[in-house]
Amino acid sequence: MRRRAEQEQLIAERLKLEGSASGISSSEANHRLSQIKREVQAAGATSPGRSTKGIFKDTCSTDLLFLIDTTGSMGCYINTAKEQVKSIVKDIKEAFLNEAEIRVAVVGYKDHGDPGNPEFLDFTTSTDEVFLFLNNLSATGGDDEPEDVLGGVKQALNASWRQQTRCIIHIADAPPHGRELQNSPPCGYDRWATPGSEPHGLTHPALLKQLISLKVNYAFLRIKAATDNMAFTFFKAYSDTSSDCKLHTANRYYTQANIIAAATHVNVRGSSSSTSKAKAAPAFQEMELGTKFSALQHLVVKMVTSSASRTAVRLSAQETYDSLKTKRRGIELREIREDEDDNAELLETAPPQWNSSSWFDHVLRVEGFSPDVVHGTGTLDDMMAHDDAIMMSVTQLSIRKRSKPFAQGAMRVASYALTSLSTTPYVVKSYKKDRKKLAHLAEDMRIQALCKAFALEFNALVGEESSLDFIATTCLKVKTGPASKDAVMSLEPFIGTSYVKYNGNKNYVNDDIPNDGFNKRAQAFSHFTFERSQGRFLVCDLQGVGSLLTDPAIHTSDPERFKLSDTNLGKEGFKFFFQAHACNEFCVKLALKSNKSMVIPERYTFREHWPRKDITACCSNKLCGKIVHLATVKKSTKYPGFYWCGDCWPQLSSTTKLMCVAKGPTHEFEVSKFFYESQGTSAPRKCNAHREEDIEMSRAEDTRYTRVKERNSIKNCTGV
């Protein structure tokens, strides 16, 4: 008796350890799915939506100021600027789809004491007015080698800057007064060699600080080596806030500048939200003009378009376009402020210890939704037609995460994480404040699922060697654990930290690696999504590690689709993309027909026929969803109809023995807990035989209920 009691006690303790009856019922799961759909619809109905109309024009409209040395040696350059100003403005307008307003100003400077120093034309939209002003400039004066550069910059600061995109084009062949801005050895004769001793007491640090605070991009067109140190000094001032500054390779300080640029890049990557801010900050770039006057037009247009890209990145940081409209107007000088991160957190600097579960010091029990990874011939068309076709299922998980995040943005932090039954490394992304609800995360999850559906067709058309993929995202709500109850978060596979951003949701395109294969594919993929959807969707804001992408944005022609997404700019987003997009060999291979000339009139020509090639599928682990090739995919006879990637397959074979909780003799059964976690549910508590009995009983009960219902219905109809 005693031994039997001990055995029963051990069985009870084991059953308690292994957990109670698993999972939620199918009816409860359906109820939760219906509930989250209603929440998304309700959030969309109450959301005012983003007022995006005109945002392309406001971003790309440009104030362009020519700062020109008008001393004796500069006559040919003044004539070139005069002759090309109309075509320069025309090219800029065409680059911005003829929607942008371009205002031009001119500052001509000589030297102290020269008549007509400085000469100034404030911003105007009239190229005829600019032409006449340049025609009246005379290249005279300049007794010593240095000129009144700082006086010219001071006059430029006093111009009526108004547009969001702001550029100075500086054309000069001589440095300023003051030996600290001159090469070594300094100029042989300089009446004001001591910094600050020139007649107006100007120094470069204060002037450059004002230019940077005004978000003025600065392009110096190099003619002679005499200006190298001046350009290097300007470069250093701008590099304090921007990662997009460059010196020309002919500049004697080019190597030093590269060292500074590399250090700036490292520094900004380690700080909050700073990578995007560094890309958004105004930039200094030195370009070679030399005696090739024909290059002026190309250099100016290139600088303006790249400046507009930085403007777009900066404005993307602002929470709403309406707030932008309250800031942007007014001709007085003032700084255009950005949203700052006032909630910076201390970051984890140690490498993750994936093999040590105790290192992950927060244990959370979470519930939420994961995307269904089914894909068939008509899946993409169905998803494009209606949100309900982007299927999802209920998920229950236990997560271990590191309490200290390893990365952060303005609104979210990212922490290393593991699930309780998998060795796969994950990332948990959570909000610093309760800014978003589960409905918002569910919409983001659906967007990413739609992007994966696009990727499946794209890969089939371009070939496996050129494929792209999007990681699966699961949206979750905390039920128990250190985090506040009902806090929301997303879970996604960890793909590394060396992220590359290929394009943005406005007109940013990564031109630092133009020949990179992943970069080319990403640009073509965005174009493909627009073409394949016949202008209904455009997937962009592509970033990730290699071909594995995350956190995409999507623009929609229908303002009611994906209303909760802050990055959906609608048809204005189409303008941003095509303004910056240059088709590459992948666009040609896909025979894409749409182009930028079709955007403004909205008269598009699309490729009509898209052959279906079902050569890929998705890993059946809903937390993974990796795209796999059908020829090499892993399959298990134990789980027919499921596909597994190389990372999930080994984990599937790991099984554990559980005790069956059904009535009758005590017995064990083997189960893969990983499989059930991969499907978002807990492992079963009964063996196969007893589960099949339950199914049969349930069917019988359903049949009995149906017969009773039918019998009652007949009675009601006959009155018997």
Main-chain dihedrals φ then ψ at residue 199, nearest 5 degrees? -50, -30
CA dihedral 401, 405, 408, 414 (to 10 degrees): -10
Tell me the average pLDDT of the chain.
85
The alpha-carbon radius of gyration of the chain (Å, integer) is 32
Q: How many CB atoms lie within 10 A of CB 484?
A: 8
Contacts of 719 by beta carbon, 8 Å cutoff, 6+ apart: none
Q: Across residues 437-445, what is the average pLDDT?
A: 93
Angstrom CA distances, 36 to 210, 503, 622, stand at: 50, 31, 18
d(CA 246, CA 230) in angstroms, rounded, equals 13
Compute the C-alpha angle 569/573/574, nearest 5°: 140
Instruction: Report the SS3 class of residue 499.
Output: coil
Say which range, 145-154, 310-319, 356-365, 501-510, has the weakest mean pLDDT: 310-319
Q: How high is the pLDDT of residue 451?
A: 97
d(CA 627, CA 647) in angstroms, rounded, equals 12
Main-chain dihedrals φ then ψ at residue 526, nearest 5 degrees? -55, -45
Residue with tokens 């060999």: 585
d(CA 576, CA 574) in angstroms, rounded, equals 5
d(CA 564, CA 475) in angstroms, rounded, equals 15
Q: Across residues 482-493, what is the average pLDDT?
A: 86
Beta strands 216-222 and 165-172, pairing class: parallel
pLDDT digits (tens, 9 = 90+) for 20-67: 555 677 788 888 888 888 888 888 888 776 678 889 999 999 999 999
How would DSSP label each residue in 77-118?
HHHHHHHHHHHHHHHHHHHTTT---EEEEEEEE--TT-TT-S
Domain range list for the chain? 56-187+200-328
pLDDT digits (tens, 9 = 90+) for 604-633: 999 999 988 788 889 999 999 999 998 889
Q: Is the pTM of this model over 0.75?
A: yes
- Give the 3-state DSSP-derived string for 552-595, with helices as H, strands as E and coil as C: CEEEECCCCCCCCCCCCCHHHHHHHHHHHCCCCHHHHHCCCCCC
Domain made up of 56-187+200-328: CATH architecture: 3-Layer(aba) Sandwich (3.40)
Instruction: Report the SS3 class of residue 313.
Output: helix
More confident of the two residues 714 and 185: 185
Task: Of 27, 35, 116, 130, give the one whose Cα is nearest residue 70.
Answer: 116
DSSP tag of 483: S
Question: CA 474: distance to chain centroid?
Answer: 19
